[in-house]
């Protein structure tokens, strides 16, 4: 796998340090509240697992799968729910955990969908922000890092379902994307 990597953008240590900081902030902000973390599968799975371990609160977790990219590096703009939540979020303080906000289309759909279910609040925690490609105006509450306008992989993020298991965020060589 290593021979396909052009550049590491965020190292494992940088990721883990930032996630610890985010976890501490969320712990402070949600003290005494009925917090539910919602992981947006599959990309956010690594982030969710590490973030949750750094939040010192009696929270619950649920998982939702949506897809707009398929096997491409361009968003189709059509968001499909592949797996819905198992539990009700009515009256709960919802924190959506995402790996990346790129065009913003996935989250703008998800946000409206979740808000219609009667939660007490809905906030967003994204590991990565790629502001240059934004199509939908999304306001998030917690962020790890800003990334340039390049297709990034690793730590949950895939290209054609692969590279999710890399412990860092990187960019692949051009010939890999164009294959
Ligand atoms: O802001 P956007 O342009 O909508 O892009 C962000 C979304 O796209 C990716 O998911 P994808 O649809 O590839 O599914 P996956 O998480 O299973 O890879 C990523 O994990 C985000 O959920
Ligand atoms: O840069 C990206 N990498 C992987 N998946 C993505 N989904 C939206 N943007 C990206
Ligand atoms: Mg993907």
Sequential DSSP letters for 66-120:
EES-TTSSS--S--EEEE--SS--TT-EEEEEEEEESSSHHHHHHHHHHHTT--S
When pLDDT is cut at 50, 70 and 90, the band that residue 26 belongs to is very high
C-beta of 40 in contact with ligand 1 (< 6 A): yes
The yes-or-no answer on residue 102 being catalytic is yes
Q: Which of 50, 99, 102, 129 is catalytic?
A: 102
Cα–Cα distance measured from residue 86 to residue 149, given in angstroms and rounded to the nearest whole number:
35
Q: What ipTM was reported for this prediction?
A: 0.98
Q: How far is the CA of 32 from the centre of ligand 1 (A)?
A: 32
87-114: average pLDDT? 95
- Domains in the chain, CATH or no CATH each: 12-149 (3.40.50.2020)
What's residue 132's pLDDT?
96
Tell me: the pLDDT tens digits for 128-160?
999 999 999 999 999 999 999 999 999 999 999
Which protein residue's CA is at the shortest distance from atom 9 of ligand 2? 102
Sequential DSSP letters for 127-143:
EEE-GGG--S----SEE
Task: Kindly tell me if the per-residue pLDDT of 119 is higher than 70.
Answer: yes
Half-sphere exposure of 70 (CA within 13 A, CB side): 8
Tell me which DSSP letter residue 97 carries: E
Tell me: the pLDDT tens digits for 64-87?
998 776 666 676 667 889 999 999
Q: How far is the CA of 73 from the centre of ligand 2 (A)?
A: 7
């Amino acid at each position: 796998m290593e021979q396909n990597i052009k550049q590491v953008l965020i190292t494992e240590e940088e990721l883990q340090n930032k996630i610890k900081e985010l976890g501490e902030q969320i712990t402070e902000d949600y003290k005494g509240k009925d917090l539910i973390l919602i992981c947006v599968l599959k990309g956010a799975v690594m982030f969710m697992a590490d973030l949750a371990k750094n939040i010192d609160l009696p929270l619950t977790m649920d998982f939702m799968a949506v897809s707009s990219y398929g096997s491409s590096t361009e968003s189709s703009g059509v968001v499909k729910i592949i797996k819905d939540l198992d539990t009700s979020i009515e009256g709960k303080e919802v924190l959506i955990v995402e790996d990346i906000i790129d065009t913003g289309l996935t989250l703008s759909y998800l946000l409206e969908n979740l808000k219609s279910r009667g939660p007490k609040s809905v906030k967003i925690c994204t590991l990565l922000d790629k502001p240059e490609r934004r199509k939908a105006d999304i306001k998030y509450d917690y962020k790890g890092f800003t990334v340039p306008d390049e297709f990034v992989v690793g730590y949950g993020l895939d290209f054609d379902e692969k590279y999710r298991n890399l412990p860092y965020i990187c960019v692949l060589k051009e010939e890999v994307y164009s294959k």
